[in-house]
């Protein structure tokens, strides 16, 4: 598989509100080092995980700290991925559908506490639990309605993925029944959010796709977000999809699909650039601005409305809510034939992550890994941590006049492992072990001693063994020795 990497640092989103002057921190040395670590890590992960192509972005409030793309949108024709490459974003579609129905709620046209049947006369899913609370719009949005996961068609079945039309979905409702009483268990439901899309259409009197384009996508400036996979862009800006890894260590092409009637739950396509704009819009509303949606409504959507009895799953209105290492993350993931995607924001740090891949991969690994690498640097650059805390977190700086550039690069760890990347980190040099699912934990800081000699910094800040870099006759660094053993330079 051909290898291609492209990246860019984009400073300010075009969607920024006139007169708003958010702090620009991409040029801060701490942030610059952190986003370069993100780039190095994702580049390696694409190769080791044999991901055909992927695009990603990191946002702080109204600033894109970094965006980049790796690999191929169309591997068989060696067409590189870009930040403007279109991917199926599958269940991230639910966010746009949820925003649409909340607009109608704010206009007084939808009551979240009302039964679905109040808006959809043809709603006919059998309630098999006597005494169950009614299936309400709020229950649909928070996946607490007890509905089946899917409509009454086998549309996730390979090889042709026969997604149903809107009429086929409605016609199949009498053949379905609830799995649980409403509000008893969390049951993720594409059927539920598809019905929310039907409510948007019925209440507004406007076809669903027209409504979201006029009232959500257009006003947000998301010109490259489509409520259905754009068939006209196949082979061009729309990436080809690929399967999970098989036993031969390869990924198979997945046929093109369109979600048809399931589009409100899983049909959209978008780019890293557009989804970065979408995340910055959320930060604007969280700061009190009203744009497309009342800011209080977005906050209502992004707080927990349902907790599964096992206390492992939390959901807002359309948005997933997750707690990780004492931090709350809000967003959504997507998984459709040939594509895995995810968006998330960490509200306290005002950091947002976008990750899109044209293959079946674990997107949470990449979204949270990106956050872990940049969060501390962002907090320092935005003065959200004290100067003393920032200083204590910094690695020992290199000796005056020393240049780290010759050491930065990749070094082989074969046959024991993949490789070690020497990167700039917190003012000094560090090793990043690759591949890894936890890049922050895979970083080892080094302290410069003299010449080409460094020492490992232990987790307790004591110094460990020496790392000695070697050079050839021309002065180029060719490898390093640790415990006397040589790791040769790859690049």
Q: What is the pLDDT along the chain (491 residues), one digit of tens a residue?
A: 445 555 444 333 334 443 444 569 999 999 999 999 999 999 999 999 999 999 999 999 999 999 999 999 999 999 999 999 999 999 999 999 999 999 999 999 999 999 999 999 999 999 999 999 999 999 999 999 999 999 999 999 999 999 999 999 999 999 999 999 999 999 999 999 999 999 999 999 999 999 999 999 999 999 999 999 999 999 999 999 999 999 999 999 999 999 999 999 999 999 999 999 999 999 999 999 999 999 999 999 999 999 999 999 999 999 999 999 999 999 999 999 999 999 999 999 999 999 999 999 999 999 999 999 999 999 999 986 544 444 444 444 444 346 899 999 999 999 999 999 999 999 999 999 999 999 999 999 999 999 999 999 999 999 999 999 999 999 999 999 999 999 999 98
The verdict on residue 482 lying in a domain is yes
Q: Are residues 9 and 40 in the same domain?
A: yes
Which of the listed residues 388, 409, 428 is the one where a domain comes to its end? 388
The verdict on residue 104 lying in a domain is no
Binning the chain into helix, strand and coil, the percentages to the nearest 5 are 30, 25, 45
Q: Are residues 383 and 426 in the same domain?
A: no
The verdict on residue 340 lying in a domain is yes
Could you tell me which residues come within 8 angstroms of residue 148 by beta carbon, excluding any fewer than 6 positions away? 125, 176, 177, 178, 179, 187, 189, 191
Q: Are residues 382 and 402 in the same domain?
A: no
Q: Are residues 424 and 372 in the same domain?
A: no
* 30 phi and psi angles, rounded to 5 deg: -65, -45
The verdict on residue 162 lying in a domain is no
Q: Are residues 14 and 48 in the same domain?
A: yes
Which of the listed residues 388, 409, 443 is the one where a domain comes to its end? 388
- How many CA within 13 A on the CB side of residue 47? 13
Q: Are residues 384 and 419 in the same domain?
A: no
Q: Are residues 277 and 369 in the same domain?
A: yes
With H, G, I as helix, E, B as strand and everything else as coil, classify residue 428: strand
Structural domain count, the chain: 2
Query: Tokens representing 122?
Result: 């043809």
The verdict on residue 183 lying in a domain is no
Q: Are residues 408 and 484 in the same domain?
A: yes
pTM of the predicted structure, to 2 decimals: 0.92
Element housing 378 (H / E): helix 363-381
Q: Are residues 72 and 29 in the same domain?
A: yes
The verdict on residue 208 lying in a domain is no
The verdict on residue 335 lying in a domain is yes
What is the per-residue burial (b if ≥16 Cβ within 10 Å, else e) of 369-381? bbbbbbbbbbbbb
Q: Are residues 356 and 402 in the same domain?
A: no
The verdict on residue 20 lying in a domain is yes
Q: Is residue 320 within 8 Å of 332, Cβ to Cβ?
A: yes
Q: Are residues 353 and 426 in the same domain?
A: no
Structural domain of residue 44, as residue ranges? 5-89+268-291+303-388
Q: Is residue 61 within 8 Å of 22, Cβ to Cβ?
A: yes
Q: Are residues 310 and 329 in the same domain?
A: yes
* 65 phi and psi angles, rounded to 5 deg: -70, -35
């Amino acid at each position: 598989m051909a290898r291609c990497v492209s990246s860019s640092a984009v400073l300010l989103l075009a969607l920024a509100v006139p007169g708003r002057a958010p702090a620009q921190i991409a040029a801060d040395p701490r942030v610059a080092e952190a986003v370069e670590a993100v780039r190095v890590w994702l580049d390696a992960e694409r190769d080791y995980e044999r991901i055909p192509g992927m695009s990603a972005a990191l946002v702080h409030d109204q600033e894109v700290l970094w965006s980049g793309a790796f690999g191929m949108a169309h591997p068989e024709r060696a067409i590189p991925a870009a930040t403007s490459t279109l991917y199926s974003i599958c269940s991230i579609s639910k966010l746009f559908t949820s925003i649409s129905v909340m607009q109608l709620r704010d206009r007084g046209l939808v009551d979240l506490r009302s039964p679905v049947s109040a808006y959809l006369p043809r709603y006919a899913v059998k309630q098999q639990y006597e005494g169950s609370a009614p299936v309400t719009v709020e229950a649909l949005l928070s996946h607490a309605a007890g509905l089946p996961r899917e409509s009454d068609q086998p549309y996730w079945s390979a090889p042709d993925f026969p997604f149903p039309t809107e009429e086929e979905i409605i016609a199949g409702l009498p053949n379905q029944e609830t799995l649980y009483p409403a509000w008893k268990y969390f049951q993720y439901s594409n059927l539920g959010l598809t019905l929310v899309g039907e409510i948007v259409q019925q209440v507004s009197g406007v076809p669903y796709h027209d409504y979201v384009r006029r009232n959500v996508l257009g006003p947000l400036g998301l010109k490259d977000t489509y409520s259905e996979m754009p068939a006209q862009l196949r082979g061009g800006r729309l990436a080809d999809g690929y399967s999970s890894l098989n036993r031969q260590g390869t990924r198979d092409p997945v046929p093109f699909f369109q979600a048809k009637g399931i589009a409100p739950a899983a049909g959209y396509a978008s780019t890293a650039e557009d989804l970065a704009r979408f995340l910055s819009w959320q930060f604007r509303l969280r700061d009190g601005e009203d744009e497309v949606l009342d800011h209080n409504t977005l906050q209502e959507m992004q707080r927990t409305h349902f907790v599964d009895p096992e206390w492992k799953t939390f959901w807002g209105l359309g948005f997933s809510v997750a707690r990780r290492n004492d931090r709350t993350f809000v967003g959504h993931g997507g998984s459709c034939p040939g594509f895995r995607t995810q968006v998330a924001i960490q509200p306290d740090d005002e950091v947002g992550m976008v990750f899109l891949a044209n293959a079946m991969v674990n997107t949470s690994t990449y979204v949270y890994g990106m956050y872990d690498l940049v969060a501390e640097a962002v907090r320092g650059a935005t003065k959200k941590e004290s100067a003393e805390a920032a200083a204590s977190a910094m690695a020992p700086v290199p000796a005056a006049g020393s240049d780290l550039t010759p050491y930065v690069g990749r070094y082989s760890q074969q046959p024991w492992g993949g490789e070690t990347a020497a990167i700039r980190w917190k003012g000094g040099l560090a090793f990043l072990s690759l591949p890894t699912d936890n890049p922050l934990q895979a970083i080892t800081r080094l302290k410069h001693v003299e010449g080409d000699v460094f020492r490992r910094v232990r987790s307790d800040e004591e110094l460990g063994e020496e790392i000695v870099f070697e050079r050839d006759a021309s002065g180029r660094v060719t490898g390093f020795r640790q415990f006397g053993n040589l790791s040769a330079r790859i690049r």
